[in-house]
Amino acid sequence: MAARTDQTTDPRLQDELLQARRGTAYFARKLNELSDAELDGGTLLPGWTRRHLVAHVGYNARAVARLIEWAATGVETPMYASTAARSHEIDFGATLSPTALRNLFDHSAVHLNVEWRDLPADAWHHKVKTAQGRTVPAEETVWMRTREVWVHAVDLDNGAAFTDIPAPVLTRLLKDITAAWHTRGTDAGLLIKVTGTDLTFGDTPAENPTVITGPLAAVAQWATGRGTQGVTATHAGAPRAEVPAAPPWI
């Protein structure tokens, strides 16, 4: 029997699916390195144990799969019934046994992958609605999941680093974050420059901006609120003693 493959033939979308699947495999590797007892440990997200984080990533896969079902059938299937229901689901998931928690991640990842694989090529353009209320084509779900698995692998605080994340993912992540800042007006007077590249983000017309500079991975880590290591800040051409915290992005 021939192996079943993605129905989409769009090269760009196929590349994005590959990044999502690699991110899922990377998260799985960092999770599998943890003992059952270590699941009780903390993460880079305040107030969340690794149990909460694994539950969140697992239930997120199910939620994204619901959007793909929506795109395939035309029947509206929200990611979550409500914000409260999402929070309750994560809290419940954090109480599962280690085996059940690991199975949640594994099985939900396989389920989402199958939904992506079997979605007809034309259905990738069908519109769905995210948990934040944005109406997007179904293909956007691939980036939504890519961002989740790569960044949250770092949040497991088990040796993963932003330097492990592929440059195209980091670049798109920065574009997302800085676009959110711009929409809210929270990037005023803030300019971000990625060393070794032509990438510049933020308030480019600003006079005497605070300039954040660093390698791509370090800038992405700073922009997501996960540390200032590797970045520097200057104002009016003079170094700042401390790098300011990045504005919230989600």
- Which ranges in the chain are annotated with CATH 1.20.120.450? 11-160
Enter the tokens of residue 208.
């005497």
Would you say residue 158 has pLDDT above 70?
yes
Strands 127-129 and 135-137, by their bridges, are: antiparallel
Phi (first) and psi of residue 80, to 5 degrees? -140, 150
Q: How far apart are CA 96 and CA 86, in angstroms?
A: 16
Is 245 within 8 Å of 231 (Cβ atoms)?
no
Would you say residue 205 has pLDDT above 90?
no
243 CB neighbour count, 10 Å cutoff: 18
- How many CA atoms lie within 13 Å of 158's alpha carbon, on the beta-carbon side? 24
Is the domain spanning 11-160 CATH 1.10.260.40? The answer is no
- Which ranges in the chain are annotated with CATH 3.30.1050.20? 167-239
CATH class for the domain made up of 167-239: alpha beta
pLDDT at 192: 94
- Banded pLDDT at 3 (limits 50, 70, 90): low
The residues with which 127 forms a beta bridge, in sequence order, are 137
Strands 190-194 and 210-214, by their bridges, are: parallel
Is 222 within 8 Å of 214 (Cβ atoms)?
yes
200 CB neighbour count, 10 Å cutoff: 12
12 CB neighbour count, 10 Å cutoff: 9
Would you say residue 1 has pLDDT above 60?
no
Would you say residue 74 has pLDDT above 80?
yes
pLDDT at 43: 98
